[in-house]
Structure 1
């Protein structure tokens, strides 16, 4: 995926961005039942606003934001060999990407493997790092629902990957490449050193983004922060590597597979391990 990519026109990238933004808006709606069960206060913050109106506002906001982020990420990505090659092929007839050569089975296996590794590390680290919980996890109404977990997985796979990989990781890679090669200019590819820098930084920010969810369960302290950064950072590195080597679509697929394990299979098999 780090080989030079053909440069579509801005309007062509906008087509891809709008489709991704529409999927992000749908994923935002899909995650609402999960949020209502896990964090009802979030959905009740706008007092006096009917829930359907609140959901519509959030979906529209997500559509606008993700359109801008996806378009910017796609435009920057052409300079450094990052992007969404399958979508460019399907929508704009750009490039020669194919599902078979993108190794979707590898993406699913890496995502599921990362989820299993997170569960194993959680079992090992939690007794050492975590304070007593502020909430009894198995007492949350609907928390064991695998259906809610499946719906929530679309948000992680589409929205988080769009924000963290397609935009943020690409921005880091683009900026670092510009700083290193500002005299020579971009060559349409990404050096391994810059790629890993962008992968790790985006993964750390991915972990930081999960601290609000962790604060619902534990009082934030050094142990909780370390655990959250480490466990989520592992997934972020896996998804970032796939974005670099296989493209945005495989990062989405891998993240979705990981979330299915964590948010659908775990509630079914290990209800005490949710969230």
Structure 2
């Protein structure tokens, strides 16, 4: 044979091909598409937490109503009704928050990550605990002081004296409210209003202005939930409305901000800490342990 062809040179007329060897990326180098987040586990977890926390509010409710020794049928019926009602509300709130919130930066990604075994989510939660607790305590102190000032300037008129639950009943109520009310109003209502805002405004992104409008609306509804407590003692008038909307609105806005920046779990922590100031400290001051 008179001439030999280089094995890397393609024969004439066969086309031009690169002489460089083909580099096949390793599996680790191939970018993976983000997995679609499943919300079912977080949904059922929140419903379970709701059912358990519903039991904790029962002693506080009876004390507020002045029922000292309820009969077993009354306890049973009240407990069943409370659990069923609360779970229905939480199913709606959690469903809205988890499925709509994930597309606008809300929802409960830290909770879902933790339930799926991602340790960094648990570490982030623990790291954020002190700040969330302090924020809740400060909100409670501010509301406590404002309530005292409002009672001097515009005292509420009541048809009967209020029953003050004991400190342990207030502590259980703080846990219960921190879980249930945050699912209903922050995870549910705030997320719904924010999602609607992103649909109305072009761009579909959650801006600060959209969030604060949603937060104000959710805080007002959150505050209105406390009119029932005022009705128990027969409170009425402008002073009552001012107390309920202003004081509960302030803490509602605070919890909404924590939810936006740190997630629903830490919003629950802030709510719990705030209620420690409002429902545990007052009875302790008068010796009702």
1:242 correspondence with 2:261: no
Cα pair 1:85 1:95 within 8 Å, conserved? no
Q: 1:197 is matched with which residue: 209, 213, 233?
A: 213
Give CA-to-partner distance per residue, 1:171-208, whole Å, 9 cap, x none: 00000111113xx5x45xx2100011111111111111
Give CA-to-partner distance per residue, 1:138-196, whole Å, 9 cap, x none: xx3xx351110111112210000000000000000000111113xx5x45xx2100011
Cα pair 1:34 1:152 within 8 Å, conserved? yes
Cα pair 1:85 1:248 within 8 Å, conserved? no
Bigger radius of gyration: 2
1:86 correspondence with 2:110: yes
Q: 1:15-30 counterparts in 2 under 5 A? A: 15-30=41-56
Deviation, structure 1 residue 59? 1.3
- Matching residue of 2:23: none
Q: Which moved more, 1:166-175 or 1:262-271?
A: 262-271
| TM-score of the superposed pair, with normalisation by structure 1 | 0.83
Runs in 1 of length 4+ with deviation above 3 angstroms?
6-9, 47-50, 93-102
Would you tell me which structure has more helix in proportion to its own residues?
A: 1
Q: 1:1-275 counterparts in 2 under 5 A? A: 8-9=36-37, 12-40=38-66, 50-93=74-117, 97-100=121-124, 103-137=128-162, 140=163, 143-181=164-202, 184=203, 186-187=204-205, 190-269=206-285
Give CA-to-partner distance per residue, 1:31-74, whole Å, 9 cap, x none: 10110110257x98xx9954224313431342243123202211
- Matching residue of 2:30: none
Cα pair 1:210 1:228 within 8 Å, conserved? yes
Between the aligned partners of 1:50 and 1:235, the Cα distance in structure 2 is 33
In the comparison of the two structures, how many residue pairs are matched?
A: 253
- Aligned-pair RMSD on alpha carbons? 2.6
Between the aligned partners of 1:249 and 1:25, the Cα distance in structure 2 is 17
Between the aligned partners of 2:274 and 2:224, the Cα distance in structure 1 is 18
Larger RCO, structure (CA 8 Å, separation 6 or more): 1
Between the aligned partners of 1:85 and 1:100, the Cα distance in structure 2 is 12
Q: Which moved more, 1:217-226 or 1:234-243?
A: 217-226
Relative to structure 1, is the Cα distance of residues 90 and 211 closer, same or farther in structure 2, using a 3 angstrom cutoff? same
| TM-score of the superposed pair, with normalisation by structure 2 | 0.79
Residue ranges of structure 2 left out of the alignment (5+ in a row):
1-33
Give CA-to-partner distance per residue, 1:53-98, whole Å, 9 cap, x none: 4313431342243123202211110111002232111113579645
Q: Does the residue aligned with 1:110 lie in a helix, a strand or coil?
A: helix
